[in-house]
């Protein structure tokens, strides 16, 4: 079913005149009920928290409402069990992903859509969902207030009996994750047929915003490294934010009709021994499947102001399921061959020797101290 919504005024050439959605109806509407719209137009790493923690929590407060998630193409799998309808934006508008920042989307088109749907029901937008990750509640007086880390007391009644925010309490909350649906047999069969034993899923970030994209030739070196080690490399990702790499050693899902289909990606990662990614949150797929993964990420994202460290912990049950290679993007770019040698050692140590301790490229004392504190606090 294709439905057209929203006629935008063409203020400049980059704006879309209209947005088109494919509607997935999970439950037929029985009677006229009030509507609740969830907006899920953020980055993937944040989005993964929406069906697993945020929507189940918010749904409890809106039992009588008809719940509708409005979001990206290919994400139906995430929302099948937590809402009544999923409105999937058409592929031609996926370039709006370039305007994603954490849970939010800064495009005029999504802002207009929100305005429009606000007339039809309550809209829970990305900003509200982002804030909810940081909201604590006082057990004594029920006052809610934002706090992400550190010691907490209620600003209203000074009580120290505080129900932690999602981010702050990630260690505990991870054990109560709302489960994703079973993967459809059609995709399991697809993965069984396509993916041989001893495969590794590779994600090659190519975001238009924020940079931090490694050059394509770097990925060819990584593919050689894994192939020499006896692995079949499976390239995954979304067209709007990942490289398509022309390399005849790999199984390339970037050319497959299931590209960008999240449920197919889950089935493929499930079949692989582990996944490998650089500066991207595709780790969530492995995390949610309890599969091992190797992540190259910057210290700022893991231990600094970026909340990726908290989010990663929230979504990853076992510390030993992951290998973190902590490295600044510029250090990698400036020292490719040195970095590759280190990466190879780290992958072998993780997969063969099951050593999940973090490794650091160009470490310093401050970084090592930060990482120790991080480990104690949130794992
Ligand atoms: Zn209080």
The CATH number covering residue 316 comes to 3.40.50.2000
Tell me how far the alpha carbon of residue 133 lies from the centroid of ligand 1, in angstroms: 19
Residue ranges making up the domain that contains 51: 2-132
Tell me how far the alpha carbon of residue 161 lies from the centroid of ligand 1, in angstroms: 8
Tell me how far the alpha carbon of residue 227 lies from the centroid of ligand 1, in angstroms: 57
Question: Do 243 and 337 fall within a single domain?
Answer: yes
pLDDT, tens digit, 9 for 90 and up, residues 87-115:
999 999 999 999 999 999 999 999 999 99
pTM of the model: 0.93
Which burial class, exposed, middle or buried, applies to 155 when counting CB atoms under 10 A from its CB (0-12, 13-18, 19+)?
exposed
Question: Do 307 and 352 fall within a single domain?
Answer: yes
Beta strand 359-360 pairing with 2-7? unpaired
Question: Do 367 and 330 fall within a single domain?
Answer: yes
Question: Do 256 and 367 fall within a single domain?
Answer: yes
Tell me how far the alpha carbon of residue 375 lies from the centroid of ligand 1, in angstroms: 30
Question: Do 170 and 200 fall within a single domain?
Answer: no
Question: Do 336 and 191 fall within a single domain?
Answer: yes
Q: What is the pLDDT of residue 4?
A: 55
Q: Which of residues 176, 203, 228 is at a domain's end?
A: 176
Q: Which of residues 124, 157, 176 is at a domain's end?
A: 176
**Structure token digits, residue 372:** 């120790």
Torsion over CA of 283, 379, 137 and 180, rounded to 10 degrees? 40
Question: Do 304 and 233 fall within a single domain?
Answer: yes
Tell me how far the alpha carbon of residue 153 lies from the centroid of ligand 1, in angstroms: 8
pLDDT, tens digit, 9 for 90 and up, residues 232-274:
999 999 999 999 999 999 999 999 999 999 999 999 999 999 9
**Structure token digits, residue 320:** 């030993």
- pLDDT class of 282 with cuts at 50, 70, 90: very high
Tell me how far the alpha carbon of residue 168 lies from the centroid of ligand 1, in angstroms: 18
CA distance 38 to 78: 13
Q: Quote the longest CA-to-CA distance of the chain.
A: 64
Question: Do 21 and 140 fall within a single domain?
Answer: no
CA distance 155 to 62: 27
Helix/strand/coil (H/E/C) assignment for every residue in the chain = CEEEEEECCCCCCCCCCEEEEEEEECCCCCCCCCEEEEEECCCHHHHCHHHHHHHHHHHCCCCCCEEEEEECCCCHHHHCCCCCEEEEECHHHHHHHHHEECCEECCHHHHHHHHHHHCCEEEECHHHHHHHCCEEEECCCCCEEECCCCCCCCCCCCCCCEECCCCCCHHHHHHHCCCCCCCCHHHHHHHHHHCCCCEEEEECECCCCCCCCCCHHHHHHHHHHHHHCCCEEEEECCCCCECCCCCCCCEEHHHCCCCCCHHHHHHHHHHCCEEEEECCCCHHHHHHCCCCEEEEECHHHHHCCCCHHHHHHHHCCCHHHEEEEECCHHHHHHCHHHHHHHHHHHHHHHHCCCCCCCEECCCCHHHHHHHHHHHHHHC
Q: What is the pLDDT of residue 320?
A: 94
Q: What is the pLDDT of residue 30?
A: 77
Tell me how far the alpha carbon of residue 178 lies from the centroid of ligand 1, in angstroms: 28
Question: Do 119 and 196 fall within a single domain?
Answer: no
pLDDT, tens digit, 9 for 90 and up, residues 8-19:
444 444 688 899
Question: Do 168 and 251 fall within a single domain?
Answer: no
Q: What is the pLDDT of residue 209?
A: 77
Domain count, the chain: 3
CA distance 55 to 29: 19
Tell me how far the alpha carbon of residue 158 lies from the centroid of ligand 1, in angstroms: 6
Higher-pLDDT residue of 152 and 53 is 53
Tell me how far the alpha carbon of residue 170 lies from the centroid of ligand 1, in angstroms: 22
- Please determine, for residue 307, whether its predicted confidence score (pLDDT) is greater than 90: no
Ion ligand 1: residues, CB < 5 A: 138, 140-141, 143, 154, 156-157, 159
Tell me how far the alpha carbon of residue 139 lies from the centroid of ligand 1, in angstroms: 7
Question: Mean pLDDT over residues 66-84, rounded?
Answer: 98
Q: What is the pLDDT of residue 16?
A: 87
∠ CA 305-309-314, rounded to 5°: 130
Tell me how far the alpha carbon of residue 144 lies from the centroid of ligand 1, in angstroms: 8
Q: What is the pLDDT of residue 5?
A: 53
Q: Which of residues 115, 132, 149 is at a domain's end?
A: 132
Question: Mean pLDDT over residues 355-378, rounded?
Answer: 90
Question: Mean pLDDT over residues 64-82, rounded?
Answer: 97
Tell me how far the alpha carbon of residue 154 lies from the centroid of ligand 1, in angstroms: 5
Tell me how far the alpha carbon of residue 151 lies from the centroid of ligand 1, in angstroms: 14
Question: Do 320 and 209 fall within a single domain?
Answer: yes
Question: Do 242 and 330 fall within a single domain?
Answer: yes
Tell me how far the alpha carbon of residue 160 lies from the centroid of ligand 1, in angstroms: 8
């Amino acid at each position: 079913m294709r439905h057209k919504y929203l006629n935008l005024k063409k203020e400049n050439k980059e704006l879309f005149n209209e947005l088109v959605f494919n509607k997935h109806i999970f439950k037929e509407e029985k009677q006229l009920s009030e509507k609740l719209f969830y907006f899920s137009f953020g980055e993937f790493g944040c989005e993964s928290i929406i069906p697993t923690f945020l929507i189940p929590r918010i749904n409890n407060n809106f039992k009588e409402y008809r719940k509708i998630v409005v979001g990206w193409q290919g994400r139906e799998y995430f929302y099948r069990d937590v809402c009544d309808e999923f409105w999937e934006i058409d592929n031609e508008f996926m370039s709006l992903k370039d305007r994603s920042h954490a849970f939010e989307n800064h495009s005029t088109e999504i802002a207009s859509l929100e305005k429009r749907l606000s007339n039809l029901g309550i809209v829970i937008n990305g900003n509200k969902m982002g804030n909810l990750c940081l909201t604590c509640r006082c057990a004594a007086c029920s006052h809610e207030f934002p706090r992400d880390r550190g010691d907490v007391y209620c600003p209203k009644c000074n009580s120290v009996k505080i129900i932690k925010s999602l981010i702050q309490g990630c260690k505990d909350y991870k054990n109560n994750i709302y489960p994703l649906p079973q993967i459809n047999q059609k995709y399991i069969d697809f993965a069984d047929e396509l993916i041989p034993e001893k495969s590794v899923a590779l994600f090659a970030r190519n975001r238009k915003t924020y940079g931090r994209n490694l050059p394509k030739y770097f990925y060819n070196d990584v593919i050689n490294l894994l192939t020499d080690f006896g692995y079949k490399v499976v390239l995954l990702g979304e067209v709007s934010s990942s490289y398509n790499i022309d390399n005849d050693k790999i199984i390339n899902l970037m050319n497959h009709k299931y590209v960008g289909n999240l449920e197919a990606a889950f089935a493929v990662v499930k079949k692989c021994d582990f996944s490998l990614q650089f500066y991207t949150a595709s780790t969530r797929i492995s995390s949610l499947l309890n599969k091992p993964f190797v992540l190259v990420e910057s210290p700022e994202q893991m231990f600094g102001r970026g909340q990726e460290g908290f989010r990663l912990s929230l979504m990853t049950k076992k510390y030993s399921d992951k290998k973190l290679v902590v490295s600044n993007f510029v250090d990698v770019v400036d020292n490719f061959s040195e970095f590759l040698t280190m990466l190879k050692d780290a992958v072998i140590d993780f997969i063969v020797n099951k050593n999940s301790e973090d490794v650091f490229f160009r470490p310093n004392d401050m970084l090592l101290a930060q990482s120790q504190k991080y480990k104690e606090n949130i794992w």
